[in-house]
């Protein structure tokens, strides 16, 4: 399947985005190994997370509506936020992906979601922190946290994204704030713990 996805991506995203996608795939694999999660699922979700990144806003809205995905006012005004949900649809319809955990990880990589699985957490982090995102001291610190405390990393990465959105005067989806609060609460309950385990090293 990987070769098929790469061929499709080469025709549908620019080279700079493909570099990012491969970075997300690789970091997802590294985090999966570190947290004893399923490496194959992590690679698949990382590789397919941005399938719909360059779909037109009207197409994103239409595909989401056809699938029965809730379109709230923020997504209505900023359809790009739907590219994660729509990418999961493309993974299913174009490449036959049926694994719900992989599809959820794809769908949650942008806004997150309270209660999301460890697999979704690592793809969320990899999307924001993979190497081509830059090498600022803050990003390097976030990368270190991502390998020491998964839920703390989700919380502080949400805060990093929120600061950018505030500074850019962008609309902020409430799910990002809900995800941040959920993750911070979990990290306080399990401070220092390497918590996720046992989903396999396939």
Annotated domain spans of the chain = 2-189
* 112-150 confidence digits (pLDDT tens): 999 999 999 999 999 999 999 999 999 999 999 999 999
Q: What are the backbone angles phi and psi of residue 17, rounded to the nearest 5°?
A: -70, -35
Q: CA-CA distance, 42 to 122, in Å (whole number)?
A: 8
The answer to pTM > 0.75 is: yes
Number of neighbours of residue 142 by Cβ within 10 angstroms: 19
* 169-184 confidence digits (pLDDT tens): 999 999 999 999 999 9
Which fold, 2-189?
Answer: Hypothetical protein af1432 (1.10.3210)
């Amino acid at each position: 399947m990987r070769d098929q996805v790469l061929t499709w991506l080469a025709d549908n995203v620019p080279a700079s985005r493909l570099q990012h996608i491969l970075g997300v795939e690789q970091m997802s694999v590294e985090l999966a190994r570190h947290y004893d999660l399923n490496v194959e699922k992590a690679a698949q979700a990382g590789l397919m997370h941005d399938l719909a990144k360059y779909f037109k806003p009207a197409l994103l809205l239409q595909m989401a509506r056809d699938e029965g995905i809730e379109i709230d006012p923020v997504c209505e005004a900023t359809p790009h936020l739907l590219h994660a949900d729509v990418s999961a649809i493309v993974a299913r319809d174009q490449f036959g992906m049926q694994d719900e955990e992989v599809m959820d990880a794809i769908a949650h990589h942008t806004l997150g979601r309270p209660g999301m699985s460890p697999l979704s957490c690592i793809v969320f982090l990899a999307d924001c922190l993979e190497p081509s995102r830059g090498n600022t001291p803050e990003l390097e610190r976030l990368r270190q946290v991502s390998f020491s405390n998964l839920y703390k990393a989700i919380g502080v990465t949400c805060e990093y994204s929120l600061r950018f959105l505030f500074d850019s005067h962008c609309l902020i989806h409430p799910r990002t704030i809900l995800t941040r609060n959920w993750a911070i609460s979990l990290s306080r309950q399990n401070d220092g713990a390497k918590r996720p385990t046992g989903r396999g090293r396939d």
